Structure 1
Amino acid sequence: MTEKFDRLAFAPEEYLARRDALRALMVKRGIDVVVLTTTENTYYLTGFGSLAYGATALVMRVDGKAVWVMRRTELSNVRALADQLWVNEGIGVADGDSHAEVLNTAIADLADANAVVAMEFAAVQPILRGFVGPRNDGRKLVDASGLVEHLRRIKSTAEIDLMKRAGVMAARACRDGFEALTEGITDSALAAVVTDSLLRNGSGRMAQMPNVCAGPRSARAHVTWCGAPILRGDLINIEPAASVHDYHTPIYRFYSIGAPQDIVRRMFDVCRSSLDEGYARIRPGMTSHEAARIFETVIEKAGFAEYMVTRPAYSIGAAFPPGWGEDNVMAIRSGNEQLLEEGMCFHVVPCLYRDGIGCVAASMPSVLTHNGFESLSQDEVVFGIK
């Protein structure tokens, strides 16, 4: 019997609905067989989230018939979840054998020589190398990149519930980090507090360890702890993401022991005003570009445009190492004409990076509702001074 810790995140009906939505897209685009190798995409479709050692592919025919192709020893994970997965058949690749040859056989078993086969060119792995380039076997090979990402843009109620749980954990980890701050504590010790809080309060495996940094070094994007002591007045960055069934909700918080530099305070206040403006005005139906300009205009008018080097928000959801973001799924950024839709989830984080000063942002993990953004963490956006 499967232990409770091995249960899938959602009911079987949710995964079957996702499968059928993909089948409908395949029919619309004239695809007979799709080959998926992106872990987030296969997890979204099936609930199978094992990070198999070696190349893994899910091969699905337009009628829903599907099979896994993966390293032979990793089939143990499929067997363990066979009573829950809608696709529970697998072909094992022995160590030293060609993944491409086994994959080719699997495709041939599912479709005839004239089939249109779609693959995720954006995620080429060793399992696909034998397919890149001209073909002479009669099948037409087209790019499947973006196919499942299109479905992942809108989160279901069940997905959002998981992300709200994760958001509360992430916010708690930041508060615990703040409580632990003392002059001279190292950034590594602070990172240990934050990570311990995540795990003690229920987070699963995280796609990325928390980012914890202090002082001017925080201006280097995504650098994290190095054993440096934290000094009075240092700008302190804490950015964890908690995970529930591999659904991640990140949050970014900023602190200091004693008063920070005046410029730090002004940078934070500008970011906070930008966040507030986005929450007040952004609604479904806007383009990504229109929404981005709402955030950016606040920062530009305050004279901080040169330090705004990132997009204001990126999609979040199911994630696996090496990172928790879904920038390839959706993002709020200038020049992007995709429409915002209800149910999209973002890490909304208008952010400023200034060399010699550090990184400051106003962050809120958010779901877009018909009334605008709603917090996934239910905490306040403040600059904490201890």
Structure 2
Amino acid sequence: MTAIADPFLPLPIRQSDPELTRRTDAARAEMARRDLAALLLVSPENIYYLLGLDHQGYFAFSLLLVPRDGAPELIARAMEGPTVAARAPGCVHRPFHDGEDPVAVVTAALRAHVAPGSAVGVEDSAMFFPPAIRTRICRETQELTWVDASDVGQRLREVKSDGEIAAVRRAAALSDSAMAAGIAAVAEGVRETRVAAAVYQAMISGGSQNPGFAPLIRSTAILQQEHVSWDERAIAAGDGVFLELSACVRRYHAPLSRTIYVGAAPPQAATAHAAALAGLAAIRDALRPGAVAGDVYAAWRAAVERVHPQGGVPRHHCGYLVGIGFPPSWVGGGEVPGIRPGSTRAIRAGMTFHAMSWVQEPIGYVVSDTALVTGEGCELLTGVSRELTVVP
């Protein structure tokens, strides 16, 4: 892991900063290894990683061209010019005006940097690369060979520097504060919207940016509806309430989740809670340099089933990589790089995971935390009480 002088880079982040220089050098080394003359990136997480560009303008088409030599070029709307100049001064902004075709601008940039017959890497799997634009760029540059390089950005971002880890730690502290506020707001008769308001108030007043994913707050009666959040429903006695959230610092996230009960816990909650805690402990113990993700999953599942066998279909993962994230996700893109059965993903020091122990038998129960892989093993960065919690 490479240290930087200031664990929280000042805004705007300058391209000359050692951290950004290291990242660009690493990207170009990977390009050389794959014999790519240029790399085209469209995910806001990857653009931020290389330029430090933190804004919301990525909803419109934006593309970063990284040549083997020379300054990167950002093709983006003309109105983003002042933002790019202030926050990413080390790149060249090639603007297109509203109503103007960005394909012509991308094509001109490619021809300025890439010789005919060369290979260009592109994020084919990114959600921010409209197929119509991608197809037309290829049609206009048939002298180039297009290579899927969707994995390059994710691989560069997997292992975090000391400065990035400091941002994740700060996000974890804010996540803990927001979770504590959310739990404190849960009570019989309180609407879920009030719980959400308490979470946001604690999170943002503490220093968080807008997170990449909205907090998930819902009754355990609909726990399996995994990406449904709060509504105006009033919490009732006997309800279970699931909360999953993450604060965000310099676009870095640190999620956690907790399950709590109102009035009384159901009879099977103690067993489900014990199984989930055993699974989380197994993930923590298995996440260490040299391990592979499939073995971490196997350790989690074995620990859970020693407490209570899981009937039906087992959970598809027990965690995933987290770090830089922009709406609509905190996983860093449209794919979830998870801890899955059979995965050969190597675990390395400096990775951060959302370690998630979600059991489905005897009843649904979830506990999760952000985990940092260290040189010696694993450290859980979030730490709100994991006890079986019942509120009035």
TM value normalised by structure 1: 0.91
Residue-by-residue CA offset, 1:19-54 (whole Å, 9 max, x unaligned): 001111111110001111111111111111222141
Residue 254 of structure 1 and its aligned partner are, at CA, apart by: 1.4
Greater shift, 244-253 or 328-337, is seen at 328-337
Distance in 2 separating the partners of 1:277 and 1:187: 32
Letter in structure 2 aligned against 1:316 = V
Query: Which of 38, 63, 83 is the matching residue for 1:57?
Result: 63
Q: Summarize the Cα distance change of 1:338–1:41 in structure 2 as closer, same or farther, 3 Å threshold.
A: same
The aligned counterpart of 2:316 is: 310
Give secondary structure in 2 for the equivalent of 1:17. helix
Q: Say if 2:23 is the partner of 1:18.
A: yes
Letter in structure 1 aligned against 2:77 = R
Query: Which of 32, 41, 62 is the matching residue for 1:27?
Result: 32
Distance in 2 separating the partners of 1:307 and 1:224: 24
Distance in 2 separating the partners of 1:11 and 1:352: 47
Runs of at least 5 residues in structure 1 that lack an aligned partner in the other structure: none
Give secondary structure in 2 for the equivalent of 1:334. coil
Q: Say if 2:120 is the partner of 1:117.
A: yes
Contact 1:364 1:381 in 2 (8 A): no
Q: Summarize the Cα distance change of 1:86–1:278 in structure 2 as closer, same or farther, 3 Å threshold.
A: same
Give secondary structure in 2 for the equivalent of 1:311. coil
Give secondary structure in 2 for the equivalent of 1:25. helix
Q: Summarize the Cα distance change of 1:11–1:310 in structure 2 as closer, same or farther, 3 Å threshold.
A: farther
Runs of at least 5 residues in structure 2 that lack an aligned partner in the other structure: 1-8
Q: Say if 2:284 is the partner of 1:279.
A: yes
The aligned counterpart of 2:250 is: 245
Query: Which of 101, 106, 112 is the matching residue for 2:104?
Result: 101
Contact 1:307 1:352 in 2 (8 A): no
Letter in structure 1 aligned against 2:62 = T
The aligned counterpart of 1:361 is: 366
Greater shift, 162-171 or 64-73, is seen at 64-73
Residue 381 of structure 1 and its aligned partner are, at CA, apart by: 2.1
Distance in 2 separating the partners of 1:341 and 1:6: 29
Greater shift, 339-348 or 293-302, is seen at 293-302
Contact 2:217 2:242 in 1 (8 A): yes
In the TM superposition, what are the counterparts of 1:138-153 in structure 2 within 5 Å?
138-153=143-158
Residue-by-residue CA offset, 1:77-97 (whole Å, 9 max, x unaligned): 112225xx432x111111122
The aligned counterpart of 1:79 is: 85
Distance in 2 separating the partners of 1:316 and 1:9: 24
Query: Percent identity over the alignment?
Result: 25
Distance in 2 separating the partners of 1:300 and 1:128: 47
Q: What is the number of residues matched between the two proteins?
A: 377
Q: Summarize the Cα distance change of 1:61–1:276 in structure 2 as closer, same or farther, 3 Å threshold.
A: same
Letter in structure 2 aligned against 1:57 = L
Residue 305 of structure 1 and its aligned partner are, at CA, apart by: 4.4
Give the RMSD, CA atoms, in angstroms: 2.2
Q: Say if 2:346 is the partner of 1:346.
A: no
Greater shift, 299-308 or 187-196, is seen at 299-308
Give secondary structure in 1 for the equivalent of 2:125. helix
Give secondary structure in 2 for the equivalent of 1:318. coil
Distance in 1 separating the partners of 2:176 and 2:49: 25
Distance in 2 separating the partners of 1:73 and 1:228: 41
Query: Which of 137, 140, 161 is the matching residue for 1:131?
Result: 137
